[in-house]
A and B are shown apart, each in its own frame.
Chain A
Amino acid sequence: DIQMTQSPTSLAASVGESVTITCLASEDIYGSLVWYQQKPGKSPQLLIYGATILEDGIPSRFSGSGSDTQYSLKINSLQPEDFASYYCQNGLSTPYTFGAGTKLELK
């Protein structure tokens, strides 16, 4: 199985700041990387797929980058609604494993 290691586990930031979350795959996943956002008590929401492609309706302050084994999710100019948990997912091969998540909290 491909292991996905996310960092940091938690992150505190202020409204207006920019943050970056990283995801390291245990092997090359050739850009098959997905990011989700999950707010407390809610279902996950698809943000980015194919490492860089923004899902329809997702604000442009979210962006994804990376290749091979290393990927990043950047959120520019944090808004109050962005404080949530974020998960990466291996999209190359089954099982489509998730990272352990990053909780983004308000400083």
Chain B
Amino acid sequence: EVKLVESGGGLVQPGRSLKLSCAASGFNFNDYWMGWVRQAPGKGLEWIGEINKDSSTINYTPSLKDKFTISRDNAQNTLYLQMSKLGSEDTAIYYCARATGIPFDYWGQGVMVTVSS
């Protein structure tokens, strides 16, 4: 069974950094692109970015490129999202997802990040 479990969320002060993790199991992590999507409370989905199998290609949505960094550790079957200079606009549920070509076919349950003083 494919499982994606995000962790590392919580309450963080404006301007601080936070690193999310996504532990993958039930499939060969090395064989898949992975990505992150977020959803602000009561809002729609926002594509954050994706990373290829060997981390040689990483794509971001332009508005987040200077704040967020996607990485992965294939030995640990784990995807990461490093977020910096957080603001209230970054308050959201963050989902990791497995990419099969373009669509995300499996999603984690999401982790809440709240940016507030």
Contact = CB atoms under 8 A, between A and B. Distances in A.
Interface stretch (B9-17, B23-31, B55-63, B77-85): B55-63
B13 to A, nearest CB: 27
Nearest to A45: B107
A101 B103 contact: no
Contacts of B110: 43
Interface residues of A, number: 22
Contact of B47 (A43, A55, A89): A89
B87 interface: no
Chain A, interface SS category: loop
Contacts of B107: 43-45
A1 interface: yes
Given A43-B95, A46-B103, A49-B101, A95 B45 contact: no
B45 A43 contact: no
Contact of B105 (A46, A94, A95, A97): A46
A71 interface: no
Interface residues of B, number: 21
Nearest to A85: B44
The residue among B47, B62, B103, B104 with the most chain A CB atoms within 10 A of its own CB is B103
B47 A97 contact: yes
Contacts of B59: 94-95
Given A1-B62, A43-B107, A44-B107, A98 B102 contact: no
A101 B105 CA distance: 18
20 contacts: A1-B61, A34-B103, A38-B45, A43-B108, A44-B45, A44-B104, A46-B103, A46-B104, A46-B105, A49-B101, A49-B102, A87-B44, A89-B47, A89-B103, A91-B101, A91-B103, A94-B59, A95-B60, A95-B61, A101-B45
Interface of A: 1, 32, 34, 36, 38, 43-46, 49, 55, 87, 89, 91, 94-101
Interface of B: 37, 44-47, 49-50, 59-62, 95, 101-105, 107-110
